[in-house]
Structure 1
């Protein structure tokens, strides 16, 4: 049972619109094939009422109405009336699963609580609403007041209840306790359907889910991306993967290839970013960074496991950076349909490592630019180098540049102002060349581009067209800073005209 639309919405700062709830509900049931979904809490707001009404109307038309569930309360029938008007047919009745909650929150005896619950269950049945029962704080109940929990379960076993829902409300369980508690309950009540509702406060939700299954639990509660209060709930995507790979005796019908699509949509609707290293759906989890891993993948897939990205509608990527090797780059080149000889591949690898050392993010889309930059460097011998430069630009003053140039072994320094940082740099360079009675080529075109889909931290390619003695030629510079890229392109120009 997926409770993204109810418990997942308790994630701090998250609130779905009615249209978003309907879209997610449709995807969960039709695209992922989830068995049941819990979509809201009764009585919350008029907006929630309209959202539930929209989902139940759609579900009724599709024959899904009995797969739609709403959290309700022991409130004398107010929740039942709300559900009737909203068109919901299944209530998940919230009750007290620990003596601590019963005594201090409700200030009632078990007998008083059970009597009120029986009235709500009877009222629901009169109104053709099925009942499941949540035992809130059940895990603490089993730890601190197990006699009350079993007294409660004895009572529920006499009621017309479809399922009993066992939540680790405060996320206090560890795997051994999960197995112990659920085993005891399943042994005593073998004919009752029990669900386990895991929270992730100790990052143990998936481990607890596995132990619950081994102990004989009948159903599981999950949320997309593990959304939920505090540290969240057991994530749907990891639950599906671990069941399919490690619990073959359990049969589930979730469509794995749609998990990533739904995950990203929920991320978009909530604005709640998925951590890059989150299993199954994180941006980095199918990305090999170390060159040795890419090399191993080329040699009988040595670094693959059963979590193949294609299972989840994704593709494996090979990151480019300071730990990249030739194998990483070759993998990316294959995707681009490019091939380099070993000498050029070595030069490109070295350039990517240099960029990685500067903490630049290098993408597959950057590769053609890097290749162009590296291969362009073959066309001249480097006799002139820009030793250092300072670029100054502040509001209210003209941009200026101080440049130190190594010209045939002689270090010459000049300072100049300009209409921009690069113009100031070029003016300083012109001063140096005039002092040596040398002529600079004329800049006739200046173009900047970044790879499609990149952001502000992308590598930037600056292409400058020059004319010298009536002939045009281009030089390229590559850096994350546009001005620096232009300076790199200019240094190439200086060496081209002296070659």
Structure 2
């Protein structure tokens, strides 16, 4: 690598030249909220064991995230076991004492009671976790998703479902949410996060009304979601300033999905408008197109806006990627920004020549800073400079075998690798690899065909019985 005579920032226009005036909360006020163990596990076909959740919680603790959402203790014994392991890990020092643990509950007493009783059964207190008690926010969800539940709670007839106005469901939802929050506080819960699904398609004035009622009932933190990943950045510009202005002394959680590839950018934009708690998942896994990815969210902040999260281990992004790939069975795309297998790989002669002079010519992120490494691949597009650079990197090893790095050796290898790669292209069976990949994804969960096969068997058994 050539030593630059001039400072690098005088030779290029860095993004911070244009983003320096963009305001954010102070870096120490931003709290990273990871929901890999809950929302990430909702990826079709993914199911973490309690032990895997514990191991991931330990890695997230080491990485310096501030909050983790572990899931629904009321849903299954395995979830309760995962919570027990995580709280034991905190007690033993494997997981940081200041790592906030979220447990999810619907807005009903049963979910809250099961979770409180689970905590007490394992010798913990309800105040050892933050309870996220959620409901719905948009009129579509209020009337057509949870409308029948609201009718039942209000003592109304099921036949009235579609005839009653949206205003009825809005007020019934407020009563249901506030009753659940009050019940949790009466059971000894100290911290209650709350929010309504599909917030990004809801009436913002209603969201403010709902949030104000939840605060008055004992809620302590509002979470605003883009549940279906349908936010344009201009939508963020509309909603977030109003929510921040309505509750200026309260933190705001933002939970954005990635259906248009904007999850990370919209999250960063929400922070610009005063939100302080971004929700992410490792590798961006989650429902449909996933959640705002942790890796792009923190690196957009750091590299494009100059906001470095204190205490966060950026060098753990690649190790986290590999561990979540291993546990989820979902591989990250080779060209995924920051953590993809190929993002620090170079083959073409033009690029490799530039990289050998100085990495900044074609690479803006230091691979080691995120736990990766730069590598050269060799094929039909390779050039002599990359081959020479690799040989020089191993010069001592070659010299020990009596091999000298010479221009002739470089040219011989260049002709060899081009020829070998051309031959591989002629016989390559990419289609098999692609088929195996999709077959693997299908095997992660039970398909519709599997369900029908079970139904045919169990249905006959039922008739026979």
> TM-score by structure 2 length?
0.73
1:206 aligns with 2:264: yes
Greater RCO between the two (CA within 8 Å, min separation 6)?
2
CA RMSD of aligned residues (A): 2.2
In structure 2, distance between residues paired with 1:163 and 1:253: 23
Aligned equivalent of 1:140, options 184, 192, 201: 201
Secondary structure, aligned partner of 1:358: helix
In structure 1, distance between residues paired with 2:83 and 2:100: 13
1:49 aligns with 80
1:167 aligns with 2:237: no
Cα distance change on mapping 1:199 and 1:280 into 2, 3 Å: same
Aligned equivalent of 2:58, options 8, 26, 38: 26
Aligned equivalent of 2:417, options 352, 355, 359: 352
2:319 aligns with 261
Secondary structure, aligned partner of 1:359: helix
Secondary structure, aligned partner of 1:314: coil
Cα distance change on mapping 1:336 and 1:161 into 2, 3 Å: same
- 5+ unaligned residues in a row in structure 2: which ranges? 1-32, 151-168, 399-403, 427-432, 434-465
Report the Cα offset of residue 89 of structure 1.
Answer: 2.0
- How many matched pairs? 359
Q: Which has the larger radius of gyration?
A: 1
Q: Deviations over 1:12-48 (max 9, x none)?
A: 111011111111111111x201101001123211122
Cα distance change on mapping 1:161 and 1:305 into 2, 3 Å: farther
Cα distance change on mapping 1:43 and 1:81 into 2, 3 Å: closer
In structure 2, distance between residues paired with 1:291 and 1:194: 48
Cα distance change on mapping 1:138 and 1:267 into 2, 3 Å: same
1:79 aligns with 2:139: no
Secondary structure, aligned partner of 2:334: coil
2:15 aligns with none
Q: Is the 8 A contact 1:41 1:70 kept in 2?
A: yes
In structure 2, distance between residues paired with 1:250 and 1:95: 33
1:4 aligns with 2:69: no
2:176 aligns with 116
Cα distance change on mapping 1:252 and 1:138 into 2, 3 Å: farther
Higher strand share: 1
Greater Cα shift, 324-333 or 74-83: 74-83
1:225 aligns with 283
Cα distance change on mapping 1:301 and 1:85 into 2, 3 Å: closer
Q: Is the 8 A contact 1:83 1:89 kept in 2?
A: no
2:372 aligns with 314
> TM-score by structure 1 length?
0.68
1:98 aligns with 2:138: yes
2:100 aligns with 67
In structure 2, distance between residues paired with 1:102 and 1:60: 40
In structure 1, distance between residues paired with 2:305 and 2:48: 34
Q: Deviations over 1:211-241 (max 9, x none)?
A: 1111111110000110101110111111111
Greater Cα shift, 330-339 or 273-282: 330-339
Secondary structure, aligned partner of 2:361: coil
Secondary structure, aligned partner of 2:145: helix
Q: Is the 8 A contact 1:89 1:128 kept in 2?
A: no
Cα distance change on mapping 1:200 and 1:244 into 2, 3 Å: same
Q: Deviations over 1:26-74 (max 9, x none)?
A: 1111x20110100112321112211212212222444637611111111
1:277 aligns with 2:335: yes
In structure 2, distance between residues paired with 1:118 and 1:10: 27
Q: Is the 8 A contact 1:32 1:254 kept in 2?
A: yes
Secondary structure, aligned partner of 1:158: helix
Greater Cα shift, 299-308 or 71-80: 299-308
Report the Cα offset of residue 210 of structure 1.
Answer: 1.9
In structure 1, distance between residues paired with 2:311 and 2:137: 31
Report the Cα offset of residue 250 of structure 1.
Answer: 6.1
1:13 aligns with 2:45: yes
Cα distance change on mapping 1:110 and 1:310 into 2, 3 Å: same
In structure 2, distance between residues paired with 1:8 and 1:50: 18
In structure 1, distance between residues paired with 2:297 and 2:104: 23
- 5+ unaligned residues in a row in structure 1: which ranges? 362-456, 458-499
Cα distance change on mapping 1:250 and 1:310 into 2, 3 Å: closer
Q: Counterparts in 2 of 1:94-493, with a 5 A limit?
A: 94-107=134-147, 108=150, 109-129=169-189, 130-141=191-202, 145-249=203-307, 251-337=309-395, 338=398, 339-359=404-424
In structure 2, distance between residues paired with 1:305 and 1:280: 11
Higher helix share: 2
Report the Cα offset of residue 77 of structure 1.
Answer: 4.0
